[in-house]
Amino acid sequence: DAGVIQSPRHEVTEMGQEVTLRCKPISGHDYLFWYRQTMMRGLELLIYFNNNVPIDDSGMPEDRFSAKMPNASFSTLKIQPSEPRDSAVYFCASSFSAGENIQYFGAGTRLSVL
């Protein structure tokens, strides 16, 4: 398996623009997690899904952030409109519930909002 795949790896955009981050979890995994990483706040859980259903979105910072999982192999995290303070590395991770609780992370998307 290729692991968790995120795209794009880097995104540079201007304030006010819409940003969409994409994630393909490991095949067979039923949990998907979105994290944001910054120097100040570390790794923060934004939202997670189980069987494509959002379970906990309490970490989503504002209504500008939204996440979807239309099927078991694809999820998006959207920021609209983006702001400079959204600049961070965004990670997607997936795990399989019927075994260990290990989350496997993608390589991340580095977002810069100018």
Partner 1 sequence: GESVGLHLPTLSVQEGDNSIINCAYSNSASDYFIWYKQESGKGPQFIIDIRSNMDKRQGQRVTVLLNKTVKHLSLQIAATQPGDSAVYFCAESSGYALNFGKGTSLLVTP
Single out the segment in contact with partner 1 by CB under 8 A; choices: 15-23, 70-78, 80-88, 99-107.
99-107
Contact string (CB under 8 A) for partner 1, positions 40-59, x = contact: --xx-x--x-x----xx---
> What length does the chain have?
114
* Locus of tokens 């959002």: 54
How far the first Cα of the chain sits from its last, in Å, is 36
Tokens at 22, concatenated = 């994409």
Binding site for partner 1 (CB under 8 A): 4, 31, 33, 42-43, 45, 48, 50, 55-56, 91, 93, 95, 97, 100-108
